[in-house]
């Protein structure tokens, strides 16, 4: 267990090491970027290169030979990770040391312990905070198992509505959809995130409230959109002469207004050191997945996530898949100048996964100041987006192949369909056609095509990374989720930014509260606090 003195020494080490742009590796990489590897050059993309540039971890095979990296670039990237003490910082995060901080200015100043939400299988790692977190998680799992067993025996509830926003909805929804063929046939889960009343109305039109559990997720217990939607649904229960307190369950921090068993059928806990976008393996995801898929399947998901968390602690960067991928992303972002990254799962059930990763990455690493509170002298997080293949190929791949912007891709594929159902036609199965498209895109983006007709020229030299696994099981899904969470954290550590707060969402909340004051004052016939621009917009809205 790290002592306070050891933690202080580690923090001091962080501030004594050279910043990202002042490392020796940064200078080397800038020089390499002046004449980067050309993937279209004859002989570059070879069977030997693809076989050599391969990493195996937690059931996934990563092929990075289609990235624009040479052996020299890889070595410089590994030196960058070492010079920025990336692995030491990951160890500190997973052991529960304070990593959510910005020195010299007010910040949240706490651990980021989402990894402890799934580290309930092995002997505890070092770190008192992480050990205490695991004990709390185990208690919640005992409560959860008992609750789910009772629900299964009673057979009273066949539907669930989860009310949350941001990470409280995006991650759980992505995981639930990703396990479509593991879902219980007698259960269905619905999601309400948007404060748009149509979101609630659409859900109400498809459920029987008498048979529905409502799970309300808010760490603070006061999130405006969530609280509004909760009261909306409660009013619908009252209209049907149902007692909402017998149907509503809360997931919140201890001691909040939602930690109230007089108002909720049950209350499950999350803690302030688990960020919303990292909460899918906490009770936020546990309850709905245990209900809609199965408790044992959720445990398998946790085992996969934990396995990849351990991979993120490996000292060899060629075996540390999240670190390797983070470094390749930094090469593309900071040295080749690519501002965006598309994540394309060749698996239809992952159709909401890019949306979750969009929040997880952009809310974490969309920062303009470093841990010293100084403006960054370099680019930080890329723009993340994506859709499932092969649909995407018939949508935006035109720009990816022949547009003026180069967009690196992460392509995710599975050898077997999750459903177990496949269809052979014209000598190949549907899954083989899907995989053939995935492989073809990687080859085409890298090598391009020459043609006398300029309209049919594909410039190529466009990087991609392939992630492959046997089948999208709960275990594989957990490993995939953890891979991205740790990749994002590694990039933040190397850049020297705080990946674990989200001040960028606060300004809009403050202004929205002022605007709401105008609406409320108008309803009540009272005078509102002066807010001139808001008043102008209110009057214009009334004229629309």
- Mean pLDDT score of the chain: 95
Residue 127 vs residue 481, higher pLDDT = 481
pLDDT band at residue 286 under the 50/70/90 scheme: very high
pLDDT band at residue 2 under the 50/70/90 scheme: low
What Å distances lie between residue 452 and 42, 457, 459, CA to CA?
A: 19, 8, 13
**Contact between 441 and 411 (Cβ < 8 Å):** yes
Quote the DSSP letter at residue 369.
Answer: B
Q: Which of 492, 491, 533 is nearest to 514 (CA)?
A: 533
Out of 3.40.1160.10, 3.40.50.300, 3.40.50.10490, 3.30.1490.20, select the CATH number for domain 157-293. Answer: 3.40.50.10490
Residue 290 vs residue 542, higher pLDDT = 290
pLDDT at 234: 98
Q: Which residues are catalytic?
A: 363, 394, 509
Rounded CA gap, 141 and 283, in Å? 8
pLDDT digits (tens, 9 = 90+) for 300-326: 999 999 999 999 999 999 999 999 999
**Contact between 333 and 69 (Cβ < 8 Å):** no
Q: DSSP characters for 475-530?
A: HHHHHHHHHHHHHHHHHHHHHT--TT--GGGHHHHHHHHHHHHHHHHHHHT-PPPP
**Contact between 93 and 489 (Cβ < 8 Å):** yes
Q: Considering only 87-96, 100-109, 330-339, which range has the smallest mean pLDDT? A: 100-109
pLDDT band at residue 7 under the 50/70/90 scheme: low
Residue 1: is its pLDDT beyond 50?
A: no
Residue 124: is its pLDDT beyond 70?
A: no
What is the layout of strands, in order, in the sheet containing 266-269? 188-192, 159-163, 212-217, 248-252, 266-269
Residue 379: is its pLDDT beyond 80?
A: yes
Structure tokens at 364: 């974490």
Residue 237: is its pLDDT beyond 50?
A: yes
Structure tokens at 290: 């245990």
The CATH number that domain 4-83+317-473 falls under is 3.40.50.10490
């Amino acid at each position: 267990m790290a002592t306070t003195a050891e933690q202080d020494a580690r923090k001091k080490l962080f501030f004594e090491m050279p910043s990202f742009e002042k490392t020796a590796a940064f200078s080397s990489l800038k020089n390499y970027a002046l004449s980067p590897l050309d993937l279209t050059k004859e002989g570059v993309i070879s069977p030997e290169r693809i076989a050599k540039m391969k990493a195996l971890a937690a059931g996934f095979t990563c092929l990075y030979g289609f990235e624009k990296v040479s052996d020299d670039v890889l070595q410089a990237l590994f030196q960058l990770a070492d010079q920025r003490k990336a692995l030491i910082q990951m160890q500190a995060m997973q052991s529960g040391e304070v990593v959510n901080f910005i020195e010299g200015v007010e910040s949240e100043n706490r651990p980021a312990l989402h990894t402890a939400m799934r580290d309930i299988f092995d002997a505890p790692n070092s770190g008192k905070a992480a050990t205490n977190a695991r004990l709390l998680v185990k208690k919640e799992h005992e409560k959860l198992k008992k609750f789910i067993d009772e629900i299964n025996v009673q057979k009273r509830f066949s539907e669930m509505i989860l009310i949350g926003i941001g990470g409280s909805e995006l991650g759980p929804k992505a995981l639930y959809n990703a396990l479509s063929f593991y879902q219980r046939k007698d259960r269905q889960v619905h999601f309400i995130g948007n404060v748009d009343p149509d979101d609630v109305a659409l859900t109400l039109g498809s459920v029987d409230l008498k048979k529905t559990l409502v799970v309300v997720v808010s760490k603070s217990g006061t999130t405006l959109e969530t609280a509004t939607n909760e009261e909306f649904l409660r009013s619908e229960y009252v209209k049907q002469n149902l007692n909402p307190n017998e149907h509503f369950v809360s997931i919140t921090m201890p001691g909040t207004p939602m930690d109230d068993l007089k108002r909720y059928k049950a209350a499950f806990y999350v803690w302030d050191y688990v960020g919303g976008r990292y909460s899918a393996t906490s009770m936020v995801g546990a309850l709905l997945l245990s209900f809609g898929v199965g408790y044992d399947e959720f445990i398998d998901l946790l085992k996969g996530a934990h396995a990849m968390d351990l991979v993120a602690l490996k000292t060899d960067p060629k075996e540390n898949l999240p670190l390797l991928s983070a470094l390749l992303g930094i090469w593309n972002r900071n040295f080749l100048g690519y501002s965006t990254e598309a994540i394309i799962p060749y698996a239809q059930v992952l159709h909401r996964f890019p949306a979750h990763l969009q929040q997880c990455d952009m809310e974490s690493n969309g920062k303009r100041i470093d841990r010293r509170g100084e403006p960054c002298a370099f680019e930080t997080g890329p723009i993340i987006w994506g859709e499932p293949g092969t649909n995407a190929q018939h949508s935006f791949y035109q720009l990816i192949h022949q547009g003026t912007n180069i967009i690196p891709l992460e392509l995710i594929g599975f050898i077997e369909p999750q459903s177990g159902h496949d269809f052979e036609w014209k000598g190949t199965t549907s899954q083989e056609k899907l995989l053939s498209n995935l492989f073809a895109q990687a080859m085409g983006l890298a090598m391009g095509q020459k043609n006398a007709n300029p309209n049919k020229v594909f410039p190529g030299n466009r990087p991609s990374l392939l992630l492959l696994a046997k089948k999208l099981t709960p275990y594989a899904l957990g490993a995939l989720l953890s891979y991205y969470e740790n990749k994002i954290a590694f990039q933040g550590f190397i850049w020297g930014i705080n990946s674990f707060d989200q001040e960028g969402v606060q300004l809009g909340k403050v202004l929205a509260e002022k605007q709401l004051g105008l609406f409320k004052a108008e309803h009540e016939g009272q005078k509102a606090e002066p807010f001139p621009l808001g008043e102008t917009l209110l009057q214009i809205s009334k004229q629309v």
